[in-house]
Structure 1
Amino acid sequence: MAVADVKYNAIDPLATGADAIVTAFENQVAYCRDNGAPNTALICQALAEIVPGERGGTVMLRIRKWAGQPLADALPLRIAGGLHAIYLKGLEPELSPIYEGHAPTDAAERVADALERHEAFLMPWLDGPPQTNEAGRSWGFAAAMLWLGAKGLPRQFALWELGSSAGINLMMRRYKFDLGGVEVGPETSRMRITPEWHGDAPPAGDFDIVEATGCDVAPVDLTDEAQALRLKAYIWPELTERFARFDAAVEAVNRFPPEIERCRAGDFVERVLAREPQPGVTRMIMHSVVWQYIPQEERERITAMIEDAGKQATAEAPLAWVSLEANRDTHRHELMVRYWPGGDEAVKLATAHPHGSKVSWER
């Protein structure tokens, strides 16, 4: 089946087994295709064709015997990231026609050869979830702060990010944003976040970030060349503007590294919410494309802690919860906000491309 013919199939994110593995790869093909990444879609299509057969060596054997939940574990993106890393390192020129957009008809054979030739390099890529830290997603946090400020919350923010990865979003005080014509951030910034905007602009205004800390179970150090390559490999190669943003983020990290704790999200939330609130500062828990990787039990714990803390929030020391996560039914990312006091119900502010290139504002 060609990439253009692949359709989404309904699947329980917690499903396991052979059928779930094939469906996870096929859904990833459709997702990449529909989000401007045809070459990555072809890589995933090649992998989907290899799964039922016998090619691919020990790497594919491990994938076929995957004991976890392939969709929730983002299994296709794990191995796709490893293959892209091989290409970026110049170790597998036979993959070039795929990544350069020539759509070779023997893509499955090329990918199978690469899997078998680079088993030692690729196997560790299956050990953990993808790292997809992306500066382009920070548009959502900036827009949410403008919206919260217009609701009367203090425009000084303490940002607490879950799943910070390399901390690229934690550095957003140094980024320049143009959100549907509403500009905020330093004019001198090399990092320019200008998504294609549809609908009304967010409320005009400003904000000040007085604190920005985060957590991750496996933080990425962009000053380390190997770790930087790993994060870069998860960037879809078709989206060239993301590479420019990545380079700008690496430059920023080398000058002022972000503050990231190595810990689980639940433990981090418990600690930061236990602090004495600072009057005149909006505490904002935020995350993007990470909620699906947090175990269900921990998600429930985090939700309960935030809601309990929200009941204690005051107008002088409010609490906000901002997320930019995938809706598994619509296959679109949604910017959702809750805040206390006064905004307990979740509000959808926008839907967006997963990497922030297009935004549809809904408020």
Structure 2
Amino acid sequence: MPLPSPEDIRSARAENPRLHARDLAERLGLAEAELCAALLGQGATRIAAHPDAVLPRLKAFGPLLALTRNEACVIEKTGVYDGYRPGPHAALVVNEAIDLRIFPSHWVHGFALEEETARGVKRSLQFFDAAGDAVHKIHLRLDSKAEHWEPLLGLLRLEDQAPDLALSPRRPPEPARIVPERRDALREGWNALEDTHQFLRLCAKLKMNRLGAYRLAGAPFVRPLAPGAVETLLNRAAGSDVPIMVFVGNMGCIEIHTGPIARVLETGPWINVLDPGFDLHLRRDQIAETFAVVKNTARGPAHSVECFDANGLLIAQIFGVLRAGAEAVAGWNALVADLPDAEQMEAAE
């Protein structure tokens, strides 16, 4: 079946104004970046994609909306892109509102979009990986300083504005990698952790991945949780003042929210956090496995709740905030401890 032409893509966008770009791309059998490419010269401009070229120039805009997603979860934070720290393998944006972990090698295609809507012109910067999947999007708000838009495009615009994209095949998800005979070594190494960032190095050393290690390790390090644990946790956290850290990401970017949450709403398969400056949209029907996990750190044990989809992809991680103090940590740990585990639910059935 031939791929739709740029004209067909533009028509489909016009006919489905409420459909999210990711969903429209899937319906058309395209990568999301190809939707942007179809608008080149008609509201879209191909721009430099490397974070070093873009992110240090965004502070002047004032408040912007930062959006990062994977197949099952979307996180949106509003704030200023201040505190950019470059790095060849990993870069950061770190401030109270915008907290990003960036992996520049996956920022391959960049577009600036100007789209006419009923509310006026909607402007955004959108970045995609080699397969054309979105890694990060930046949206101007009504209170953003839009006078910086045209000067920014003048700096970032590429000479090549052709609509053809050279896309690579999407990397297939990696299933759980488990090496049963190394369980004792995993547990010994886990017990010796001094920082959560050491965990993935331990997994690599033992030829496992995160999901495989979680399935293998057992108590007291990991507890499989019952279905619905994440929405239960979010609802209970919203009824408290306990601050949490929510990590949502993909291969190119991880976005983090830190603070308490207040408003949790369910809409169809989605569970949503809708707070000032922070939105989270999580497809609970795509959660296949959830774990309560504890790892040692210099500040004490870090307890997290982490969920995966049926392909083994990490959807989201939710931690307590160790630096918030003993009372906040105790409150978070109690929320996690009170979640039913998978075996309890199976026994009840």
TM range (shorter): under 0.3
TM-score computed with the length of structure 2 as normaliser: 0.26
Greater share of strand residues, 1 or 2? Answer: 2
